[in-house]
Amino acid sequence: MPRPKKCRRIEGCPKAFSFKPQGIPLRDLTELHVPMDAFEALRLADYQGLSMEEGAARMHVSRHTFGRILTDARHIVARALVEGLALYIAHDAQFPCVQLHPGRVAARNKELCMTKIAVTSEGPTLNDRVDPRFGRAGGFIVIDVETMDYSYVDNGSSQSLAQGAGIQAAENIINAGASVLLTGYVGPKAFAALKGGGVKIGQNLDNMTVAEAVAEYKAGRVQFADSPNK
């Protein structure tokens, strides 16, 4: 049985969460994810110049764990530079970064949990079809992509709205703690609400089951949108 992941202490906040080669649309790029703990390890070791022991103490992890996180982070960044890929610093929409105030370090403990993704679904199981409608989807299946544990969020309250269904559905996704949405079509207002909540959006994933959409995400074949498709 795997040991539970220990909380990492995150003190710094990225000023930008995505980076890409100039002149190439994001939709044409493979995107690599940099977890927040990897960003923090880079910031402490390579930006601030701290030793392994100092960095580990700041993040409240062992020296071995800090070294592993730092090695993984450097590999991701190096691969993006060499292969011309996009970089995205993954952050949890439920825990926005703390602003650093002049003269002191603002720190907060947060657990970097496994990524939760939400998939619009016509039913409550992984074998149900992806609902192509975001705002008026029957519901959302929220999945921990590492354990594949999942729960179902009913979207009936949004379906009954004459207007604003997409915005209400976006709030349901954000409140469920999902940082990624897989769906068919998203309107402009809902798209803006999701992006404002830090949710990455994969569109055009209809005509498959929820399980198949999750498999596409885990295989790195989902392209995240920078604009709505409806």
**pLDDT (0 to 100) of residue 140:** 95
Tell me if the domain spanning 116-218 has CATH number 3.30.420.130.
yes
Chain mean position to CA 137: 21
Question: Contact at 8 Å (CB) between 137 and 172?
Answer: no
Domain ranges of the chain: 8-110, 116-218
The pLDDT confidence band at residue 36, using thresholds 50, 70 and 90, is confident
Closest Cα partner for 190 from 211, 210, 169? 169
pLDDT in tens, 137-164: 989 999 988 788 899 998 876 656 656 7
**pLDDT (0 to 100) of residue 114:** 44
CA distance 154 to 132: 15
Q: Are strands 31-34 and 108-110 parallel, antiparallel or unpaired?
A: unpaired
Q: Determine which of 9-13, 103-107, 129-133, 188-192 has the lowest per-residue pLDDT on average.
A: 103-107
pTM of the model: 0.53
3-state class (DSSP) for residue 194? helix
**pLDDT (0 to 100) of residue 9:** 77
pLDDT in tens, 102-126: 333 333 333 333 478 999 999 999 9
pLDDT in tens, 20-32: 898 887 677 888 8
